[in-house]
Chains A and B, each alone.
Chain A
Amino acid sequence: MNPASLFNALPGAVAQGLIWGIMSIGVYITYKVLDLADLTVDGSMATGGAVCIMLMLNDWNVFLALLCAMAAGMLAGLITGLFHTKMGIPAILAGILTQLSLYSLNLAVMDFKANQGINVTKYQLLVSQRNVRTLDLSNPIFITLLVLALVIGVLYWFFGTETGCSLRATGANEAMARAQGINTKRAKILGLMISNGIVALSSAMLAHYQGFVDVNMGRGAIVIGLAAVIISEVIFGKLFRNFALKLLAVAVGAVLYFLVIQVVLWLGLNTNLLKLLSALIVAVFLGIPYWRANLAARHPRKGGKEHA
């Protein structure tokens, strides 16, 4: 347990946290804005990387490859949305079905190999682990922050538009949204597409960062995303009311998550137990509002929050 080794690992944890922060923003859109638990992300968190890396290996331009990765993610979201709205499959199950089919599709994209590497020196990558300690513009932390700002900016604008407001209304109160003439099915499909497009972007960046894409790299992504969302709410929930700041808080939540993981690993936890730990932590935090409500119901305070 050498403090220097922990210190050395921190920039990497921050970079990874920021990349996963972009993914977590995607999760935030479905889970918080649309009030849907979308498990597609475990699949699309590999799809983006697979599409992007394979296209680049075929000499595509890096930005074009990134765009295609996002489009592939949006397509995955579209499929889940159609399963859910046109076939009446519950959202969770719809996401699981897409996620499962994505496993095969991702393998197919990757020429049926479980992973595909990409050489940093031969290809122009957007971000790379190799530069995580360099102090110039090629630093992945810097570049990821730029992408993050762009994503937050676009989302902030979008959710202020008429269409964006209709998505928020759908998540807030579906019956009311329909009564106000909003096509809630379409809103959900659109939200799932946007979310998974962002997840795929994050996936592509993660593949760049680590220098390879792995068919299993999205496993447990939803849990990481939820962890980031929950951490952000616990820490910044009362503080940030502006939508852009809330999205930023989610990214910060992801960074904190990776920092904690780094510390836990440094303390000597077996890497293989990480997912167990994450799942338990998220379960506890998801349970807190429920326990709180139960407690409040049992010990009602006089003149509580009711304004009626």
Chain B
Amino acid sequence: MLEINNVRKTFNARTVNERVALNDITLRLEDRDFVTVIGGNGAGKSTLLNAVAGVWPVESGSIVLDGTDITSLPEHKRAALLGRVFQDPMMGTAASMQIEENLALAARRGQKRTLRPGITREERARYRDMLAELGLGLEDRMTAKVGLLSGGQRQALTLLMATLKKPKLLLLDEHTAALDPRTAAKVLELSERIIQENKLMTLMVTHNMKDAIRYGNRLIMMNEGRVILDISGEEKKKLTIELLMNAFARASGETFVNDRMLLG
């Protein structure tokens, strides 16, 4: 279970650029929740995920994951509990290292790094099988530098790395936004498959309303650093883009005018 209690984050505090990105936000996720997160530009979606990941400290509130208070844990320590895939395909992998080396790094998340070999033969065999399952032909290029892969291949690899060591929570921040529609659809399907198979608690940010409706068992909408809409279960299954837009207008008192979100 994930509990986000009254978390506040202000960027550039006490300057003219002050910006409250998370406004005492409270959110609770059950273990099997697969939550899609939507909201306009600057709504605080990425900030929410970064707060959970510990990219920087939050000002107030607490974040409890699976009974552990991680609010003041440094980023690399929380990483033991989290799997993350970023919007930028460059960000999730080390371009100058080999595919198998990247996987081996991920396999040791949350473990002490010792003077034992960075990758073993058994691991290689295991990674080969996992890569073969992706169906991208990466199993024959295990020693190729990740920098040679396409954006979609890199995101698929990052997804594998994020879940190689089963995380308590998977954070996906618009991880298909930089891909062409066909590749994006593939990576999304792969994400869902991995989430289902491993029964992962997931927060997935997307700008695509259709995807937000199609995937997951729960949908939240953010605006100005708060959750303004939280739909799950049967209600979510009946959602349409129109219903969602009306709900937004009611909840925020504004009409929905974000081009990027309409695109879905």
**Residues of A participating in the B interface, judged by any CB pair closer than 8 Å:** 158, 160-166, 168-169, 172-173, 175-184, 307-308
Do A169 and B97 have beta carbons less than 8 Å apart?
yes
Chain B residue numbers with a CB within 8 Å of A166 are 105, 113
- Of A175, A180, A183, A307, the residue contacting B105 (CB under 8 A) is A180
- B249 contacts partner chain A, Cβ-Cβ < 8 Å: no
Do A181 and B109 have beta carbons less than 8 Å apart?
yes
**Complex formed: what's the CA distance from A181 to B119 in Å?**
16
Q: Is the interface of A mostly helix, strand, loop or mixed?
A: helix
Nearest 4 Cβ contacts at the A-B interface? A181-B79, A165-B118, A172-B94, A162-B113
**7 A–B contacts from the bound complex (CB under 8 Å):** A161-B113, A161-B114, A169-B105, A176-B91, A181-B111, A184-B76, A307-B148
Do A173 and B104 have beta carbons less than 8 Å apart?
no
How far does the Cβ of A167 sit from chain B's closest Cβ, in whole Å? 9
- B116 contacts partner chain A, Cβ-Cβ < 8 Å: yes
**Complex formed: what's the CA distance from A168 to B95 in Å?**
11
How far does the Cβ of A166 sit from chain B's closest Cβ, in whole Å? 5
Chain A residue numbers with a CB within 8 Å of B77 are 181
Interface residues on B, range: 35 or more
Task: For A165, give the chain B residue with the smallest CB separation.
Answer: B118
Chain B residue numbers with a CB within 8 Å of A168 are 94, 96-97, 101
Chain B CB within 10 Å — which of A160, A169, A172, A176 has the most? A176
- Of B90, B101, B110, B117, the residue contacting A181 (CB under 8 A) is B110
**Complex formed: what's the CA distance from A162 to B77 in Å?**
17
**Complex formed: what's the CA distance from A137 to B79 in Å?**
52
- B177 contacts partner chain A, Cβ-Cβ < 8 Å: no
Do B115 and A162 have beta carbons less than 8 Å apart?
yes
Do B95 and A178 have beta carbons less than 8 Å apart?
no
Do A162 and B116 have beta carbons less than 8 Å apart?
yes
**Complex formed: what's the CA distance from A177 to B76 in Å?**
8
Chain A residue numbers with a CB within 8 Å of B96 are 168, 172
**Complex formed: what's the CA distance from A136 to B11 in Å?**
68
Within 8 A of A (CB), among B72-87: 74-77, 79-80, 82, 84, 86
Chain B CB within 10 Å — which of A161, A169, A184 has the most? A169
**Complex formed: what's the CA distance from A161 to B82 in Å?**
24
Do B114 and A173 have beta carbons less than 8 Å apart?
no
Chain B CB within 10 Å — which of A160, A178, A180 has the most? A180
Chain A CB within 10 Å — which of B113, B114, B117 has the most? B113
**Complex formed: what's the CA distance from A166 to B105 in Å?**
7
How far does the Cβ of B106 sit from chain A's closest Cβ, in whole Å? 5
Chain B residue numbers with a CB within 8 Å of A180 are 79, 105-106, 108-109, 161
- Of B82, B106, B114, B150, the residue contacting A162 (CB under 8 A) is B114
Q: Given A161-B115, A180-B105, is A173 in contact with B95 using a C-beta cutoff of 8 Å?
A: yes
**Complex formed: what's the CA distance from A183 to B109 in Å?**
11
How far does the Cβ of A264 sit from chain B's closest Cβ, in whole Å? 34
How far does the Cβ of A252 sit from chain B's closest Cβ, in whole Å? 22
**Complex formed: what's the CA distance from A5 to B74 in Å?**
61
How far does the Cβ of A89 sit from chain B's closest Cβ, in whole Å? 19
Q: Given A176-B91, A181-B108, A308-B151, is A162 in contact with B118 using a C-beta cutoff of 8 Å?
A: yes
Chain B residue numbers with a CB within 8 Å of A172 are 94-97
**Complex formed: what's the CA distance from A177 to B109 in Å?**
10
Do A173 and B79 have beta carbons less than 8 Å apart?
no
Do A162 and B117 have beta carbons less than 8 Å apart?
yes
**Complex formed: what's the CA distance from A173 to B102 in Å?**
11
Do B94 and A161 have beta carbons less than 8 Å apart?
no
**Complex formed: what's the CA distance from A307 to B152 in Å?**
10
**Complex formed: what's the CA distance from A175 to B84 in Å?**
11
Chain A residue numbers with a CB within 8 Å of B216 are none
**Complex formed: what's the CA distance from A158 to B118 in Å?**
9
Q: Given A180-B161, A307-B148, is A163 in contact with B114 using a C-beta cutoff of 8 Å?
A: yes
Do B75 and A178 have beta carbons less than 8 Å apart?
yes
Q: Given A172-B95, A173-B93, A307-B148, is A183 in contact with B117 using a C-beta cutoff of 8 Å?
A: no
